[in-house]
């Protein structure tokens, strides 16, 4: 196996995916794992045995937080925003595919590890994959062979019992160097930026010793690069890059994403404009009021809007508008509506609610909102490189906390602040969320998630204003991020999205959990 450097993308890792479901790491991540398993089997699956390690997080959360929904939907070939996710159990039953869930220790290193044994009448494969947060995944093992498949390239897997013809494989693979993987089975892996045609694949099947050839298609919106390059990977490097350019934070984000994905500056900007239209739709749907049977909290944002419109609430217009928009987005999520994970589904309200509420209050244009979201995305890139977006790895500080740090920088842009102020706002916001735990009530990504998204968004507003007033943030953002990761990973397992500690185990939470619908998972 050959390891390549992986640089996060704003649209793959930070602001996205576009999805349904309570949790990006459980729903969208599991769905992408299921899709890759489907490709590995050439879409011919009869039975899947899924194993979760009891030392991880999935034994206690796979049903209630949507891992089953995502995994089953991916196995069926759905996309993360497919409306059929709401009836995934019926869909899997109609397909005839048998799925068994097992709990067994297999020394999984990551809390969100999926071990799949997949069979049909003619083939069997084992695949181990991890969901690393925000819908990002990595296949780490196929048939006992170590691999690195992140779903951002086309992957051709050539299963063979004879490596003597490797030169013929090399000739057919163009500029892609074949990777030999030896495990329970031997296969040659070819990574490509373009899809292999049926004609190209058939040429590989004629090589002596080749058994089967499988093509795994990308499951991420922005393709990776075989030799990836980015202009910088931390704040210090970004400031050095910008020394003679005087670019704003959003422009630096465009430079980064353009280089990372090999796309134009205009394409980067247009992608963000399209994402923002989806976010706006999720806000409007929430404000109309949402209904869903299987959830803890009813729709509350319409009542908040009435109180806000009637001036019956404490606080200024922007502050209360942020609470309203955060609530609306979270309620759209909890009713299985389409949302944008930013940076995760569990924290989808904080960043978007803060930016859109402030932008509308300040009469900012769609272009300015896109710039603010790009500025926030750049902060998210630094967090993705240095740490994680997975509450299972670092508590809610990795989700709502991250959203707060991202939003603070975006708000500074909306107010006309400079680059240094944006970085200072982000630093202060992240300093304030160190140690924030993840302890879902009723084992659902709903409460205290809603109030923590509101807290994260209003923390961002406070820190943006402090930075605009030139408060001293003291600790540079790069150093804060090092601390952020260290603190997050030191939070004990019971407080990292396992529902085994904190509010999750209070008497009231247990009563709520006992009263929830058990027969079918529909929403969070």
Residue range 306-342, pLDDT digits in tens: 999 999 999 788 999 999 999 999 999 999 999 999 9
The tens digit of pLDDT for each residue in 237-264 reads 999 999 999 999 999 999 999 999 999 9
User: Over pLDDT 70: what percentage of the chain?
Assistant: 98
Q: Determine the Cα angle at 246 with ends 243 and 248, to 5°.
A: 120
Do 260 and 187 share a domain, yes or no?
no
Averaged pLDDT score across all residues of the chain: 94
In this predicted model, which residue has the larger pLDDT, 430 or 291? 430
Q: Is the pLDDT of residue 518 over 80?
A: no
Do 265 and 357 share a domain, yes or no?
yes
Domain of residue 504 covers 235-515
Task: Give the model's pLDDT for residue 294.
Answer: 82
CATH number of the domain to which 92 belongs: 3.30.1330.90
What's the sign of the alpha-carbon dihedral 22, 24, 30, 35? positive
Do 243 and 198 share a domain, yes or no?
no
Residue 325 lies in a domain: yes
CATH number of the domain to which 419 belongs: 1.10.4100
Residue 2 lies in a domain: no
Do 377 and 475 share a domain, yes or no?
yes
pLDDT-based confidence at residue 346 (cuts at 50, 70, 90): very high
Q: Could you write out the DSSP letters of every residue in 1-31?
A: ---------IIIIIS--EE-SS-IIIIIHHH
Do 255 and 188 share a domain, yes or no?
no
Task: Give the model's pLDDT for residue 41.
Answer: 97
The tens digit of pLDDT for each residue in 217-235 reads 999 999 988 777 999 999 9
Do 103 and 73 share a domain, yes or no?
yes
User: What's the rounded mean pLDDT across residues 495-514?
Assistant: 95
User: What's the rounded mean pLDDT across residues 184-192?
Assistant: 95
pTM exceeding 0.85: yes
The answer for residues whose C-beta is within 8 angstroms of residue 354's C-beta and 6 or more apart is 322, 325, 326, 407, 410, 411, 457, 458, 460, 461
Q: Is the pLDDT of residue 172 over 50?
A: yes
Total domains in the chain come to: 2
Q: Is the pLDDT of residue 3 over 90?
A: no
Task: Please report how the helices 317-334 and 265-288 are oriented relative to each other, as an axis angle in degrees rounded to 10.
Answer: 90
Residue 328 lies in a domain: yes
The tens digit of pLDDT for each residue in 142-154 reads 999 999 999 999 9
Do 343 and 421 share a domain, yes or no?
yes
The tens digit of pLDDT for each residue in 375-416 reads 999 999 999 999 999 999 999 999 999 999 999 999 999 999
Task: Give the model's pLDDT for residue 100.
Answer: 97
Q: What is the DSSP letter of 494?
A: G
In this predicted model, which residue has the larger pLDDT, 487 or 517? 487
Task: Give the model's pLDDT for residue 226.
Answer: 74
Do 197 and 247 share a domain, yes or no?
no
Do 354 and 476 share a domain, yes or no?
yes
């Amino acid at each position: 196996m050959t390891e390549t450097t992986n640089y996060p993308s704003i649209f793959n890792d930070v602001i996205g995916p576009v999805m349904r479901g309570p949790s990006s790491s459980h729903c969208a991540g599991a769905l992408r794992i299921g899709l890759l398993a489907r490709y590995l089997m050439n879409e011919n699956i009869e039975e899947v045995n899924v194993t979760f390690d009891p030392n991880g997080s999935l034994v206690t959360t796979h049903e209630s937080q949507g891992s089953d929904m995502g995994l089953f939907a991916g196995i069926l070939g759905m996309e993360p925003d497919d409306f059929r996710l709401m009836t995934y159990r019926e869909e899997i039953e109609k397909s005839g595919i048998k799925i068994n869930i097992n709990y067994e220790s297999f020394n999984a290193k990551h809390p969100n590890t999926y071990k799949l044994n997949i069979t049909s009448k003619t083939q069997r494969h084992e695949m181990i994959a991890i969901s690393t947060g925000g819908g990002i995944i990595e296949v780490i093992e196929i048939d006992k062979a170590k691999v690195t498949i992140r779903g951002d390239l086309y992957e051709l897997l050539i299963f063979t019992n004879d490596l003597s013809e490797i030169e013929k494989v090399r000739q057919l693979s163009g500029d892609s160097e074949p990777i030999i993987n030896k495990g329970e089975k031997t296969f040659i892996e070819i990574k490509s930026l373009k899809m292999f045609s049926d004609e190209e694949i058939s040429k590989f099947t004629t090589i002596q010793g080749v058994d089967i050839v499988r093509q795994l298609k990308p499951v991420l919106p922005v393709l990776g690069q075989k030799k990836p390059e980015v202009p910088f990977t931390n704040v210090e490097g970004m400031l050095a890059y910008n020394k003679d350019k005087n670019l704003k934070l959003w422009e630096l984000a465009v430079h980064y994403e353009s280089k990372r994905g090999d796309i134009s500056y205009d394409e980067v900007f247009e992608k963000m404009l399209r994402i923002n239209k989806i976010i706006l739709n999720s806000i409007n749907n929430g404000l109309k009021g949402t209904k869903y049977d299987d959830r803890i909290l009813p729709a509350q944002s319409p009542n908040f809007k009435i109180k806000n419109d009637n001036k019956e609430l404490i606080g200024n217009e922007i502050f209360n508008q942020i609470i309203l928009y955060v609530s609306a987005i979270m309620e759209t999520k909890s009713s299985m509506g389409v949302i944008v994970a930013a940076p995760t589904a569990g924290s989808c309200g904080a960043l978007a609610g803060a930016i859109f509420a402030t932008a509308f209050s300040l009469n900012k244009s769609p272009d300015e909102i896109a710039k603010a979201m790009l500025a926030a995305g750049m902060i998210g890139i630094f967090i993705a490189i240095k740490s994680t977006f997975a509450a299972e790895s670092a508590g809610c500080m990795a989700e709502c906390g991250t959203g707060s740090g991202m939003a603070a920088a975006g708000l500074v842009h909306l107010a006309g602040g400079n680059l240094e102020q944006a970085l200072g706002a982000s630093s202060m916001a992240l300093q304030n969320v160190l140690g924030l735990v993840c302890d879902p009530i009723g084992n659902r990504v709903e409460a205290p998630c809603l109030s923590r998204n509101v807290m994260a968004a209003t923390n961002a507003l406070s820190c943006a204003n402090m930075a605009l007033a030139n408060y001293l943030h003291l600790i540079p953002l790069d150093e804060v991020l090092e601390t952020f990761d260290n603190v997050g990973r030191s939070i004990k397992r019971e407080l990292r999205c396992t529902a085994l500690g904190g509010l999750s185990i209070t008497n009231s939470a247990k009563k709520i959990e006992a009263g929830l619908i058990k027969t079918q998972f529909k929403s969070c």
